[in-house]
Structure 1
Amino acid sequence: MPHFRPDLEGLVTYVPGRPIEEVAREIGMSPDDIVKLASNESPEGPFPGVVEAIQEAAQSSNRYPDSDVYDLTNAVAEHVGVDPDQLWFGAGSTGLLGSIALSLGGPATSAVYAWPSFVMYRIISRWAATQAIEIPLDSSHVHDLDAMAASITPNTTVVYVCNPNNPSGTVVSGDRLEEFIDSVPDSALVVIDEAYHDFVADPSYRSMLTRAPQQPNMVVLRTFSKIYGLASHRVGYAVGNAELLQRLRRTQAPFTVTSVAQAAALASLGNTDELRRRAEANAAGRRQLLGALDERDLARADSQTNFVYFSLGDDSQELAREFTSRGVIIRPMSGGWVRVTVGTEPENQRFLEALDSVMETITA
């Protein structure tokens, strides 16, 4: 047996939401009758015109993709209002996070982030031999920025802020986040993960995208996996200072964004009407689910995303199994809390029917 790094012993790898086909085999139900609300995926397919772009790009599958992601970089630069050299693309924002951790980590370094938050912050910190400093969310399931700031030491090289936060769905106001960023020393990189920014309705929220290129120790992450419905294609990007991004690229493998993925993302841009429609549909579904949770007197967070986060009982794993047995896949978190993706109206209704059934079971 090869000699593995001892500090990786006990590391729990990322656990994705269970596939529909796996659950169908387990419970003996048709895949068509199972609702997956576990992975914060779009309940709709890609934007109009994307499938055709994918088919065309697939004709050149014998060629390596453009490692510079030239066309998509220039299109996104125009779309969000930055220079092309202020963008960095990777295999989803997760792929970029891995490169960031490797670039800034190592023994005697630390990373600060909220908890619970995106579990990959914990995993990539272990990859990079970085000490993870996890700061509990406050009583409203929002980042405790004061506690995070107080936890930053001279050894801290990176600070992750998931805004909106996953799994709670809550947001930090723009003013508070600006104050926090100002308090972080230049020796630490501030990573603002905005994977769910397209879904936010809270007027206090403000994206940090326009600030990032002006600051040498900050990046903003975005993804095409959520509202654009391209989760299977793994396209994410970072916005930041050009020199900073160039240094971060050094730990990225080549050709991480496939030609098909680049074509799919490029074809998704510019359709503002479809983007608005999807955001509005999600907001309506979110209101439906949050209202239903309130009617049932269940503790929940004030989600601004495409998922809801609530508590039901003490054993979240057992709760997830109860839902799965009813053909509804949800995501167990910790301490009896679970996360449920906003689906279509029929999918949301299936979840609520399962919720009532599960509540009857656990209170019987």
Structure 2
Amino acid sequence: MSEARSTLHDVRAYREEESSNAEGGSRITFDLSSNELVLPPLPTVLAGIEEGLPRLARYPDPAARDLTREIARHLCLSDDEVAVGPGSAGVLQQILLALCGKGDEVVYAWPGFDAYPLLVAVSGAMGVRVPLTVSGDHDLDEIRTRVSERTRVVILCSPHNPTGTVIDHGELHNFLCSLPDHVVTVLDEAYVEFDRGGDPPGMPQVLREHRNTVVLRTFSKAYGLAGLRVGYAAGPRQVIATVRKTAIPFGVTRLAERAAMLSLRSEGELRERLAAVAAAREELTAGLRELRLPVLPSRANFVWLPLASAAESFARAAATAGVKIRACPGHGVRISVGEAEAHRTLLAALGRRNSRVGIL
């Protein structure tokens, strides 16, 4: 039997030990750990999905050409500047497979999206983790210092997962201008609609200004299509052409393609939904601050508490109350914006614990 790729030796399959309905022996009633939208898909989109069910016996278009054209039109790009795939994580894997190999490096901030280490390892490259600042921001100066001749990709996430912070456009511009030509920057904007209150059409400004940048987006978060797995990348033609070659055949289902196209045409419905999420996020933030907990200002559909070594015990306390949240051991906890009842249950449990022993 041949040996597994060496970069995979020290990584685990994505959340392989996680249970969907229990956490540390506690029965989970509310899951606020995955940044899922608690609302169903947009009404127009849901109707379109139901209409497409009879065609499930047929393979989808392997190139998802209709969706590719729709996204390109939405962004005012050409079709050959867009690649689609099974969620932004799937598209990121395509990008890394296309650009990286043995001996290469990928630089990203940490803590970050917990799939980054696995996806980098699958590509054969080595990950270079750069700690966030104390305010939960990217340390762009340090990231630039860690870029070397072996660096092929830098991943930036804005709004950042898990802290919800946003990279200042001027600082981003200066950083991208400082990178050598052999480095491609992937700007992961999975949560960008929550920051902007919508998904305005037109090319992302960063693509106009920087030719070695790829913007990564998803329909899983703001549009509520996490279960259908569809995302996309927009960037330079030569990069996108290679990224398309690493795609899994038929990776975007017909239902996902149709739902994503309808989502882009439902701006009014989306804005209403994002306003509701923003209001719920501020209410959750206010409730946590009333308990004197350190909550960072967030521009996404989750909040971050930099609890350092108390992160895991905090998550266990939430699980005991039936609420699952995401702990980043040694760093903090991320709490997704959810139902009002879930927020009330969590805050009440934390309040009781705080009154007994203190949370920190």
Q: 1:17 to 1:306 in 2, by over 3 A?
A: farther
Using the TM superposition, give the Cα deviation of residue 351 of structure 1 relative to its aligned residue in structure 2, in angstroms.
2.1
Using the TM superposition, give the Cα deviation of residue 337 of structure 1 relative to its aligned residue in structure 2, in angstroms.
1.1
- Larger displacement relative to structure 2 (326-335 or 209-218): 209-218
SS at structure 1 position matched to 2:333:
strand
Equivalence map 1:162-241=2 (5 Å):
162-200=157-195, 209-212=204-207, 215-241=210-236
Q: 1:42 to 1:238 in 2, by over 3 A?
A: same
Paired position in structure 2 for 1:5:
5
User: 2 CA distance for matches of 1:214 and 1:201?
Assistant: 20
Specify which of 235, 254, 269 is matched with residue 264 of structure 2: 269
SS at structure 2 position matched to 1:165:
coil
Using the TM superposition, give the Cα deviation of residue 24 of structure 1 relative to its aligned residue in structure 2, in angstroms.
9.6
Q: 1:356 to 1:208 in 2, by over 3 A?
A: farther
Amino acid corresponding to residue 232 of structure 1 in structure 2 = G
Using the TM superposition, give the Cα deviation of residue 16 of structure 1 relative to its aligned residue in structure 2, in angstroms.
7.7
Q: 1:18 to 1:44 in 2, by over 3 A?
A: farther
1:110 aligns with 2:105: yes
Paired position in structure 1 for 2:36:
41
Q: Which consecutive unaligned segments of at least 5 residues does structure 1 have? A: none
Specify which of 146, 154, 160 is matched with residue 155 of structure 2: 160
User: 2 CA distance for matches of 1:349 and 1:4?
Assistant: 46
Amino acid corresponding to residue 350 of structure 2 in structure 1 = L
| 1:114-162 CA distance string (max 9 Å, x none) | 1111122211221122121111111111000011111111111000000
Paired position in structure 1 for 2:119:
124
SS at structure 1 position matched to 2:15:
coil
SS at structure 1 position matched to 2:193:
helix
Using the TM superposition, give the Cα deviation of residue 363 of structure 1 relative to its aligned residue in structure 2, in angstroms.
2.9
What RMSD over aligned residues (CA atoms) do the two structures have, in Å? 2.4
Using the TM superposition, give the Cα deviation of residue 90 of structure 1 relative to its aligned residue in structure 2, in angstroms.
0.3
Equivalence map 1:233-312=2 (5 Å):
233-312=228-307
User: 1 CA distance for matches of 2:243 and 2:57?
Assistant: 29
1:81 aligns with 2:81: no
Q: 1:289 to 1:105 in 2, by over 3 A?
A: same
SS at structure 1 position matched to 2:71:
helix
1:97 aligns with 2:92: yes
User: 1 CA distance for matches of 2:9 and 2:214?
Assistant: 31
C-alpha contact 1:35 1:328 (8 A) present in aligned 2: yes
Q: 1:208 to 1:11 in 2, by over 3 A?
A: farther
User: 1 CA distance for matches of 2:24 and 2:310?
Assistant: 24
Amino acid corresponding to residue 180 of structure 1 in structure 2 = F
Identity of aligned residues (%): 36
C-alpha contact 2:23 2:319 (8 A) present in aligned 1: no
SS at structure 1 position matched to 2:48:
helix
Q: Which consecutive unaligned segments of at least 5 residues does structure 2 have? A: none
Using the TM superposition, give the Cα deviation of residue 322 of structure 1 relative to its aligned residue in structure 2, in angstroms.
2.2
User: 2 CA distance for matches of 1:174 and 1:313?
Assistant: 29
User: 2 CA distance for matches of 1:210 and 1:137?
Assistant: 25
Q: 1:59 to 1:53 in 2, by over 3 A?
A: same
Q: 1:313 to 1:84 in 2, by over 3 A?
A: closer
- Larger displacement relative to structure 2 (282-291 or 315-324): 315-324
Runs of 4 or more, structure 1, over 6 Å off, are: none
TM-score (norm 2): 0.91
Using the TM superposition, give the Cα deviation of residue 12 of structure 1 relative to its aligned residue in structure 2, in angstroms.
2.0
TM-score (norm 1): 0.90
